[in-house]
Amino acid sequence: MLLWIFQTHLVAGASAVRPLPDRDGQRLLFGAALVWALYLAIEPYIRRHWPQAIISWSRLLAGRLRDPLLGRDLLIGVILGVVWLVIVQLSLLEIARLGGAPTLGATEYLRGGRHILGRLAGADP
């Protein structure tokens, strides 16, 4: 890792992580860096314009699970997640209706749940 850091000409962007020797390590480092950068970019805006979201987050981390504000925000998040899943599934049904291929390989459905989950996670079990 140190050899890679000292010998590589780094340019900001997704291509800076490509020379990493381990593909899974590359994904983990890039994902962590992306989440960190997004947090740093979004947090001041949220603190200024939407402070109640930080209040809910603080109450969750403090262990106040029965707080009504926290329950409201969790319920809204679950509802938005379900709506998003319905939209994605309806778009996949429309693609299948028009004769498109399923998102996974056709044999993945036949190999079992472990293979489907591995394929969705980006690994080949």
Place of tokens 């899943």: 85
Q: Which residues contact 80 (CB under 8 A, 6 or more apart)?
A: none
Model confidence pLDDT, tens digit, residues 44-64: 998 899 887 788 888 888 999
Q: What is the pLDDT of residue 52?
A: 77
| Cα gap 2→56, rounded to integer Å | 40
Nearest residue to 116 via CA among 107, 37, 15: 107
Residue 114 main-chain phi, psi, to 5 deg: -60, -40
Model confidence pLDDT, tens digit, residues 69-79: 889 988 999 99
> What is the SS3 assignment for 63?
coil
Q: Name the token pair of 110.
A: 């036949």
Residues in the chain where the model's pLDDT stays below 70: 1-24, 101-125
Q: Name the token pair of 82.
A: 């379900």
The model carries a pTM of 0.47
Q: What is the pLDDT of residue 28?
A: 76
